[in-house]
Amino acid sequence: EAGVVQSPRYKIIEKKQPVAFWCNPISGHNTLYWYLQNLGQGPELLIRYENEEAVDDSQLPKDRFSAERLKGVDSTLKIQPAELGDSAVYLCASSLKGHPNTGELFFGEGSRLTVL
């Protein structure tokens, strides 16, 4: 069974440029997450989707970050324009909605962004 797939794996851009990350969750998983991980820190939640609906985007910097999950499957996270401080790893995860005690999130390998 394929895991969570993310692309690109690495991206280097100059500041003020746009960038987009793509995530394909595990088949059948209706909950999708985007996390941000800075060097030496744990992942921080940016946004959580239940199917197509963003149910928690309180930590998403909406002035420059946007996300979408059309048709409730794949998702795209966009930054426009990118700033130096956006250099980090962007992780996508998916899970099955259901029992509240499931708790198992499946993560992709992440997309490492470097802003110059």
Partner 1 sequence: DAKTTQPPSMDCAEGRAANLPCNHSTISGNEYVYWYRQIHSQGPQYIIHGLKNNETNEMASLIITEDRKSSTLILPHATLRDTAVYYCIADSGFQKLVFGTGTRLLVSP
For the segment 31-70, give every residue that binds partner 1 (CB under 8 A): 31, 33, 40-45, 48, 56
Which is closer to partner 1, CB of 72 or CB of 81? 72
Contacting residues for 40 by C-beta, under 8 A, at least 6 apart: none
- Say which residues have a Cβ less than 8 Å from residue 68's Cβ, sequence separation at least 6: 75, 76
Residues in the chain: 116
Q: Which amino acid is at 57?
A: D
Helices and strands per DSSP (H, E), number in the chain:
0, 11
Stretch that binds partner 1, among 20-28, 64-72, 74-82, 93-101 (CB under 8 A): 93-101
Contacting range for partner 1; rule: CB under 8 A; set: 14-22, 63-71, 80-88, 107-115: 107-115
Residues that bind partner 1 (CB under 8 A): 4, 31, 33, 40-45, 48, 56, 91, 93, 95, 97, 99-110
